[in-house]
Each structure stands twice: as C-alpha cells, then as structure tokens.
Amino acid sequence: MKKIFVLTGEPSGDKLASKVIAQLKNSRSDIEYLSVGGEHLKALGIKSLFDLKEVTYLGFTRVLLNVFKIKSKINNTVKEILKFKPDILFSVDSPDFTLRVAKEVKKKDPNIKTIHFVAPQVWVWREHRVKQLKSFLDHVLLLFPFEKKYFDKEGIQSTFAGHPLLEEESKSKVDISQIIKDNKKIFSIYPGSRLSEVNVLIPILFKFIKKMNEKYKDLFFVFHSTTEHVQLIQNLLLKEGFKNCGAIADEKIKSHILKSSMFAVAKSGTISLEICNSKIPSIIIYKMGTINFFIVKMLVKVKFANIINIAANEEIIPELLQSSCNPTNIYNTVDKLLSDKNAMEKQVAKSQEIINNFKTEKSTEIAISVIESYF
C-alpha cells in the first residue's frame, strides 16, 4: 500500500488538491491518504489532522499575532507526517505554512518525496525563495507557463500543469429556480473564504448592493461562500432585510450560478480565473489592514493584483484595492461597465486570450503523472 499525505493551508488549496486526489482515488485503490485539509478533501473521505481555520491567517500582523500557534501547528503537523510515513508529501499552495512543513519533513526524513502544487509567486515578490526550495522540494507543479524559467534557472524539477479549476466541468444540470426567483438576473459576489476577509468586505458589499438596488430592480445577488461561513452571511443578509440576496456553499450549485451570472464582483484571488473561464465580466476588490498594505506595497514588484492583469501587463479587469475598495467606487465601476456592453465583451475576449495560455486540457492528469512517477 502506497501512502500520500496531502497538505493544504486554506480553502482554495483544499479545493485544488481535491481535484487531483479525486481522480487519483478513482484510478487507484492502493493508496492510503491523510491530510491537513478542508471540506473538499473530507468529502473524498480523507481525514484531516485539524481544521484548516487553525492555520488560515490573513496579513502580516495577524500572522505575527498568531506566530506561536502557527509554529506549534507546523511542529505537530511534521510530527504526524513522520508518524504516518508517507511515500509522498503532496503540498498545495499556502507556502508560508505548507513549505515550512515540507522543509522540516525533508530534513528529518529525506526518503519522503516532496511535490508542491502552486509555486510560490516569486515573480511577485521574494524571488530569492527559489534557491531555498531546491534543498527540500523534489518537484514543483506550476499553474502558469511563465513560472518555469525561475525554477529551471536553479535546477529545480518543475512541470507546467496548468490550473485544474480551468478544466471542463461535467454538463450535469442543476435546478436553481428555488434560489433565484421571479426571473431575476444573477449577480455573483465572492467575499473571500477567510473569516477575516468576509468581516472586512461584507459591510462594504452590503452598502454597494443598496446603491445598486436604487437603480437596478431586476437583479438577484448571490454570495458564493464556504460551508463554514455561509450561515453567517445568510444571517447578516436577513438582519439587513435584503429581499434580493442569497448565500450558497454547494460547489455544483456555485459553478452553475456563476455560469448563469451576468456580472461578478470578487475578492482578488484564484476565483478570478474561474470567473474569466466562465466568460463572465467582473471587477476585483480587496482590502487589508493599513500596516499589512504598507508592508506588501514595499515588497511586491508587480503593478497589478489580478493574475490576468499581471500576465497581460495591463488592467483588463478593474482592480479596486485598499482605499479604492469602497461602496461608491465599486458601484460606479460596475455601473459604468453594465451600461457599456462593448466594454464588457472586450474584457471577456481579452481575458480569454490570456486564460487560454494557462490551460493544458489535462491539468489533473499531468499532476497525477508527476505524483505517480515518484512512487
């Protein structure tokens, strides 16, 4: 029996890892799994050492405030991985947690093969990290083709796999008539998967919706949430008395809702790729603490936050970050786009050009092929 330990650090990594592991489980029954994962890996019947929210921290100050907790979690995770004795440690994203664990595991047991999916974004900041990875990573699976040169330069084994979340989904039909009533147009909202993000963005988004409701009478706003936070958002919507809003957590329904949407406002992150892949016009928003933003501004070496804009080196998708992330700016930006069909079509077309470079058709199969080569 082979063994794989799946290591994630936040919901988006859990979702990505589950795409690969689900297919691996379908094709092979001779592998035992253990993880640090969330709802997606748990849905595959894979036990998690602890809840993901125990290591999901946003921003430098929150990390500093929780540094002893994080250190303790890293040490305990390393201890449990060594006890499990996996053939492969498959880590996904969240480098500040997963790579620290991988480094310690490799130091204590060099026989464990370490494969990491979603390379640290060295093209954004801290390029020197690439050199350090060589000592404890056997292979890196890359989301984007332009990343490979950074790893080739240091002689680190890497493979461009593409993004599994951009693969074609099943065409199964989902009835959304119970969610969207009165034939209203769907407007998707993504407030983030971390509680800290939700707490910051929800008040801003609620004020934005109130502004939208003054002009647009045929919209239904759907908040795409996690299982962990969906009840919180539903309660907040109820408290505000919104009649044209709802919150969902079911992945199949979320995917169908997105594809049926006429527009989306999303927190900056992986979800932007899925929105673009679904050919939905959008804007991205983000806000963090002033100290965190100041630190990021000093370290980051790219002009944009969104990967589509970074790859294109132009703002295809409007970015409203920090002080620009306020109800009035969000409303004005969305209203301007909604009143200009040509601008929305242009955004979708340009996004498709970029996103096609990130696709490999068989991203999951490529990842599995690399994993199996290390058995």
Q: How wide is the angle at C-alpha 142 spanned by C-alphas 138 and 146, nearest 5°?
A: 125
pLDDT of residue 291: 59
CATH 3.40.50.2000 positions along the chain are: 2-167+360-373, 185-358
Cβ pair 144, 355 in contact under 8 A: no
Supply the DSSP string of 278-345, one letter for each residue: TT--EEEEE---HHHHHHHHHH---S-SSHHHHHHTS-SS-EEEGGG-SHHHHHHHHHHHHT-HHHHH
pLDDT tens figures, 215-263: 999 999 999 999 999 999 999 999 999 999 999 999 889 999 999 999 9
pLDDT of residue 180: 76
- pTM of the full predicted structure? 0.85
Tell the CATH topology of 2-167+360-373.
Rossmann fold (3.40.50)
Give the helix ranges, DSSP H, for 109-219: 129-133, 148-153, 195-215
Bridge partners of 32? 3
Give the integer Cα–Cα distance in Å for 12 and 166: 13
Q: Is the dihedral of CA 92, 97, 100, 102 positive or negative?
A: negative
pLDDT tens figures, 159-173: 999 988 887 665 566
pLDDT of residue 140: 96
CA distances from 264 to 68, 79, 363 (A): 38, 42, 26
- Superfamily grouping for domain 185-358: Glycogen Phosphorylase B; (3.40.50.2000)
Give the integer Cα–Cα distance in Å for 371 and 20: 10
- In 3D, which of 275, 258, 266 has the Cα closest to residue 333? 266
pLDDT under 50: residue ranges of the chain: 58-61, 124-125
pLDDT of residue 62: 54
Q: How wide is the angle at C-alpha 86 spanned by C-alphas 81 and 91, nearest 5°?
A: 70
pLDDT of residue 131: 82
- Provide the total of helices (H) and of strands (E) in the chain, helices listed first: 16, 12
